[in-house]
Amino acid sequence: MCSYAKLYCILTWTAFQVDSVSCYCKVDSGLKTVAEARKFVPGSKLCIQPDINPNAHKSKTSRRERTRIQPPLLPGLPDDLAIACLIRVPRAEHRKLRLVCKRWYRLLAGNFFYSLRKSYGMAEEWVYVIKRDRDGKISWNAFDPVYQIWQPLPPVPREYSGALGFGCAVLSGCHLYLFGGKDPLRGSMRRVIFYSARTNKWHRAPDMLRKRHFFGSCVINNCLYVAGGECEGIQRTLRSAEVYDPNKNRWSFISDMSTAMVPFIGVVYDGKWFLKGLGSHREVMSEAYDPETSTWTPISDGMVAGWRNPSISLDGRLYALDCWDGCKLRVYDEASDTWNKFIDSKLHLGSSHALEAAALVALNGKLCIVRNNMSVSLVDVSSPDKHVESNPHLWENIAGRGHLRTLVTNLWLSIAGRGGLKSHIVHCQVLQA
């Protein structure tokens, strides 16, 4: 590791320098793990001088701590150069770097390290897939698009190993939250936990104000919104909505929805949160929430009429899938209030449940389609006028854990009864580190 780092130092000494006395904001300063903590105390705003600087963070109670000098991050190098080398290590190796020593772990768990990676264009995005197997158990995997391999992750905490109808969202780019849901034995939950891509651990966050499952959720301005859903009791379908602000570390109620709803699709588009679901009498209904005025408005325009799941808003445009296996895309035209055909890969896979496109997320500026068999497609939507036939780079099929099969193979498996769904995706998110 040292020789690898020193080589980078020689190449980057004149092009890059890091101020060793800079302020290091530690995202993990107040974190407690799920197993230990009853309450999460956020540390993202706590700004302290770390012990990477030998003269900083001295103890006031121990003479030994005051006189002790920290060893360098890398032997023979000043810490600023060591950091300049470490931020260049690929993300796939960060799990190993955290195990070297406590100082490396604290460095990789802090905001400073990843802010440098992001500012110099070295931050990497991974796709995190949460799926449910035939036995109802929850598991998850992370896909590294650089090496095109699935990376190991710590197990999902016990309270969510078999939960139903829970929410999933990303805050601050690197924290994946699981919240609410229904425990098979205890019923609806208010619990909130999150995984940090920087510490590679699960942590606790404050519980929601209401128990709920099968609800809608979204992130606007790095705040987590939830609305509607179900809960055991007389008023089973909910109208209530609430928001979590990670900076304040608390939940607050917002305006109730116009009517109670169990959402089955939602998206943030043009600064508003659009939800579509079933009302108390199982009628289809749609509403939009404006965070600036904190008001809900019923909607029935062409966008909602042709809206299908999954969908995503990217660079001000709203996209949705146009076929079962996600090999065609549609785009919403606000001027005509209609959905139009956008791009066709001409590589249709079949209609089995294993090949169903379960998620549509943004990955490195492209649309990423993830199917139940864990196959992944990347679509470049920046040039809508180009055709896939003459520009194959516009639509790339990445063979992850579930390799793409030919249409003939899929048809044969369906006829033979071997195309059954072993597991299906329930949530998919992208984390940056």
What integer pLDDT is reported at residue 363 of this predicted model?
A: 96
Dig out the tokens for 119 from the structure.
Answer: 């500012």
What integer pLDDT is reported at residue 384 of this predicted model?
A: 67
Cβ contact 27:42 at 8 Å? no
What global pTM score does this model have?
A: 0.82
Has residue 356 got a pLDDT over 90?
yes
**CA 203 to chain CA mean position, Å:** 15
The stretch 238-267 carries a mean pLDDT of 97
What does each C-alpha distance from 244 to 208, 240, 408 come to in angstroms? 8, 14, 48
Between residues 425 and 22, the one the model is more confident about:
425
Identity of the amino acid at 413:
L
What integer pLDDT is reported at residue 64 of this predicted model?
A: 53
CATH 2.120.10.80: does it fit domain 154-300?
A: yes
What integer pLDDT is reported at residue 40 of this predicted model?
A: 41
183 beta partners: 187
Q: With CA atoms as reference, report the closest residue to 227 among 210, 242, 245.
A: 242
pLDDT bin (cut points 50, 70, 90) of residue 71 is confident
Cβ contact 221:240 at 8 Å? no
pLDDT bin (cut points 50, 70, 90) of residue 15 is very low
**CA 228 to chain CA mean position, Å:** 22
SS3 string, 420-433, reads CCCEEEEEEEEEEC
Has residue 8 got a pLDDT over 80?
no
**Average pLDDT in the chain:** 82
Cβ contact 401:357 at 8 Å? no
What integer pLDDT is reported at residue 19 of this predicted model?
A: 39
Dig out the tokens for 114 from the structure.
Answer: 């990843």
pLDDT bin (cut points 50, 70, 90) of residue 308 is confident
DSSP string, 272-285: EEEEEEE-TTS-EE
Distance CA 227, CA 240 (A): 6
Domain residue spans of the chain: 2-119, 125-152+310-433, 154-300
Identity of the amino acid at 362:
A
Has residue 191 got a pLDDT over 70?
yes
Distance CA 430, CA 125 (A): 6
Has residue 70 got a pLDDT over 50?
yes
Listed in sequence order, the residues at least 6 apart from 247 whose beta carbon sits closer than 8 Å to its beta carbon are 42, 44, 45
The stretch 231-256 carries a mean pLDDT of 93
Distance CA 85, CA 7 (A): 9
DSSP state, 184? T
**CA 11 to chain CA mean position, Å:** 34
Q: For 393, phi and psi rounded to 5 degrees?
A: -70, -15
Residue 206: asked if its preceding bond is cis (omega within 30°), the reply is no
Residue with tokens 């190449």: 11
